[in-house]
Amino acid sequence: MKRLFDIAASLCALLLLWPLLLGTALAVALESGLPVLLRQNRIGLHGRTFGMFKFRSMVKNAASIGPYFTAANDPRITRVGRFIRRTSLDELPQLLNVLKGDMSLVGPRPDVSAQKELYTAADWAQRCSVRPGITGLAQALYRSDSTEAQRLEADLRYARQASLWLDLKICWWTVKRLGGRGAN
């Protein structure tokens, strides 16, 4: 049922949002050239690596200039990049990952392999027992303001309690948080 929901919702979102996707791609291309998408290796279901799509929000050679994470005023982030990150538009290409089956609409955000060391072996296995999502419990509750401990707890809580009903609530909370009204 969850996979069917993911496919239907992703197709609908892509159909409804194509003008926004096109406009974002054009803005990225006009400011900093091609390519407009980047593919980052992330850890998915059962610990498998997959290529996660995002709109490029940093200068082209960002990976060779600094670490995989960004700081508050990271000079590698472009002007358009700051906007698409703040509004989460950079995440919209992940709808393609959902269609491919690499991701779900809702689940723990996919980690890079370096983040595995933050978990015990049992916690990592539990976290990887569900498909990663475009949004998750941590994003719905905290947006980007969570500590590592809060994110880990929320990701594990989601993995233990995953259900279509919880997914629908997290989608609603995410929309509210993006609108600036919080999760509750």
Strands 133-135 and 104-106: parallel
What mean pLDDT is predicted for residues 110-119?
81
184, pLDDT greater than 70: no
Query: Is residue 182 predicted with pLDDT exceeding 60?
Result: no
pLDDT at 117: 83
Burial zone of 55 (CB within 10 Å; 0-12 exposed, 13-18 middle, 19+ buried): buried
pTM: 0.88
**Band of the pLDDT at 111, cuts 50, 70, 90?**
confident
Q: pLDDT tens digit string along 118-167? A: 888 999 999 999 999 999 999 999 877 888 889 999 999 999 999 999 99
Which pair of tokens denotes residue 150?
A: 């809060």
Give the pLDDT mean for 82-91. Answer: 93
Question: What's residue 180's pLDDT?
Answer: 64
